[in-house]
Amino acid sequence: MTIHETLQAIDSGAFDASLIALYACEDCTPCRTRLRNAVLHFQTAFHSGDDTEIRLFSVPARTELGGNHTDHQGGHALAAAITLDLLAVAAEQDFPEIQIFSEEFEQENCSVSLSALHPFEQERFSCAALFRGVATKCIQDGCAVGGLQIYITSDIPPESGLSSSAAMEILAGLVYSSFYAETPFSPLQLAEIGKFAENVFFGKPCGLLDQLICSIGGMLALNFQPNIPEWKQIPFDAEKFGYALCFLDASAAHSDTSQAYAAIPQEMNTIAKMFSREKLSEISETEFFSHFAGLRRTCGDRAVLRAMHYFEEEKRVIRQVQFLENEQFPEFLQEVNASGLSSSACLQNLSFPSEPEHQGAATAIALCQRLLDGRGAVRVHGGGFSGTVQAYVPVDFLSAFKMQMENWIGIDRCRVLHLRKIGATQLIIKK
């Protein structure tokens, strides 16, 4: 559709069914305005005429509900897509360059030449690295990639643990697939392409969890032990049981999280390599504890503690899935709290040891525990270190909880998350 046709379709409500499916909105006006503004900002950024052919895309953020740092070890995890997303407007262009513009991430505005498809040190941890990495992997997999103009708007808080980088990778793959692939990439293909970009070009040794959730959508129980990941959709409705799922951000200025994050898989892998294995999923818990004293001497206390977390978290995820399937929500919440305690004591991903003055996640958890007073549950959110936590709050206490938490940690630092059933998608009007 042209820019003119797209704007007409937005104003007429032709996209409303898609907007309701993506954002669970009762009133489409704010979502329609956001979509319209994205098209107009694209037109302004790239000086496009009304007859320019464009396509619209949306990729959700994700929240991890169980399985903290288990995916990169070939374990089990539980996670869900949420209604916060990256929304993009894209058009094809003749010369081999990807031009990216975003008002939320002005520092990420860039051009990626497709004539240089290899990592650049100066691009690490940037949007350019992700788009270059995804393009490289697409070409390696036999998909031609050409020039594009892309405008991106986001309501995902940056550096929040909600996987804005994974969403960006999946968005890049989705756009490339739409314009240049002979057949659309499958969700698993999108996820694997994104993981390659994040590992090799972006510089973060992540697993496949975030990319799969952003790509597939819904709430998934995932098993990374097979060579090809397995997953199934799990029913989840916290409000049915009287709870709201909240995301809290008590972060303060701190060092980049990537190095601290990378140390977790590195130390877990060190334990596995003592058994001539690559991942902890390839050894048994019995094997691990039968060599515990030697592993502690050789690998250090933190590495063995992190391995202990992995083995316990594996069992927790399996129980969590069973509790949700059986509608045993109080038991599910007990496992959430147990996961939070293990992340703090064993995984140790709440803060930086080198910066004891920055304790955002621990502070938020302590405040949540004070307010909840034994109700609900709270745990660190995402990969850790960023100062964000996840809390299950009784609905009848939500307003008071949110007001008090924002008084302590800042306005708009406590958000209610809503799950999204649809993963990465191109917005199309069905005729």
Q: What percent of the chain has pLDDT over 90?
A: 77
* Contact residues for 257 (Cβ-Cβ < 8 A; gap 6+): 159, 383, 384, 385, 386
| pLDDT confidence tier of residue 252, bands split at 50, 70 and 90 | low
pLDDT recorded at residue 117: 87
Residue 212 has pLDDT above 80, yes or no: yes
pLDDT of residue 376: 97
How many CA atoms lie less than 13 Å away from 133 in the CB half-sphere? Answer: 32
**Residue 14 backbone zone (phi > 0: left; psi -120 to 50: alpha; other: beta):** alpha
Instruction: Choose among 143, 403, 358, 369: nearest CA to 260.
Output: 358
pTM of the predicted model as reported, rounded to 2 decimal places:
0.90
- Amino acid residing at 98: I
- Give the rounded percent of residues in the chain with a pLDDT score beyond 70: 97
* Helix ranges, 387-431 (H): 398-409
255 has pLDDT over 60: no
Residue 107 binned pLDDT confidence (cut-offs 50, 70, 90): low
User: In terms of DSSP H, where are the helices of 278-300?
Assistant: 285-290, 292-299
CATH class of 3-234+420-427: alpha beta
Over 90: is that where the pLDDT of 174 sits?
Answer: yes
| Listed range (46-60, 162-176, 240-254, 320-334) with the worst mean pLDDT | 240-254
Taking the C-alpha atoms of residue 310 and residue 343, their distance in angstroms, rounded to an integer, is 10
More confident residue, 109 or 79: 79
Residue that wins the pLDDT comparison between 401 and 205: 401
Domain-wise residue ranges, the chain: 3-234+420-427, 238-416
71-75, 133-137, 254-258: the lowest-pLDDT one: 254-258
Poorest-pLDDT segment among 165-169, 203-207, 281-285? 203-207
The count of other CB atoms within 10 Å of the CB of residue 190 is 28
Average pLDDT of 205-219? 92
Q: Which of 430, 414, 24, 390 minimizes the C-alpha distance to 217?
A: 24
- Summarised one tens digit per residue, pLDDT across range 393-428 is 999 999 999 999 999 999 999 999 999 999 999 998
Superfamily of domain 238-416: GHMP kinase, C-terminal domain (3.30.70.890)
Kindly state the average pLDDT of the residues 53-73: 95
- Does 158 have pLDDT greater than 90? no
What's the pLDDT band for 229 if we cut at 50, 70, 90? very high
296-305: average pLDDT:
98
Q: Is 223 helix (H, G, I), strand (E, B) or coil?
A: strand
pLDDT recorded at residue 239? 93
Tokens of 323: 């509790």
352 against 159, higher pLDDT: 352
Whether 152 shows a pLDDT value over 80: the answer reads yes
Specify whether the CB–CB gap between 361 and 368 falls below 8 A. Answer: no
Q: Give the pLDDT band of residue 108 (cuts 50, 70, 90).
A: low
Instruction: Give Cα separations from 253 to 55, 204, 300, 361 (angstroms).
Output: 37, 20, 29, 13
Average pLDDT, the chain: 92
Spatial separation of the C-alpha atoms in residues 42 and 34, rounded to whole Å: 12
| Mean local confidence (pLDDT), 309-335 | 97
Would you say residue 80 has pLDDT above 80? yes
Q: What value does the mean pLDDT take over residues 192-197?
A: 95
Confidence of residue 106 (pLDDT cuts 50, 70, 90): low
Q: What is the pLDDT of residue 292?
A: 98
Classify strands 388-394 and 243-249 as parallel, antiparallel or unpaired: antiparallel
| Confidence at residue 374, expressed as pLDDT on a 0 to 100 scale | 94
Q: How far apart are CA 360 and CA 405, in angstroms?
A: 13
